[in-house]
Amino acid sequence: DFALIDGYHFGPQPLIDTLAVLPYLGPRGTLAFHDCQAPAVAQALEAARQRTGGTVRALPTRHALTLIDWGDA
């Protein structure tokens, strides 16, 4: 399973988006976050890491693309 979080990058919206998709992802999956330099996106990424127990991998991209993989994804 895969989801990309790349919506409104401010306030509670990245966390709302993240919490909305997590129930639809299976026991193995990947979440990608775009623009993780934005504090609200970084907060959502950390919330996803805590909920999934996944591994965080920051990719060397211009706009701070970061992945969380879990369950042998």
Give the 3-state secondary structure of the chain. Answer: CEEEECCCCCCCHHHHHHHHHHHHCCCCEEEEECCCCCHHHHHHHHHHHHHHCCEEEECCCCCCCEEEEECCC
Low-confidence ranges of the chain (pLDDT < 70): 73
Give the global pTM. 0.91
> What's the pLDDT score for residue 73?
60
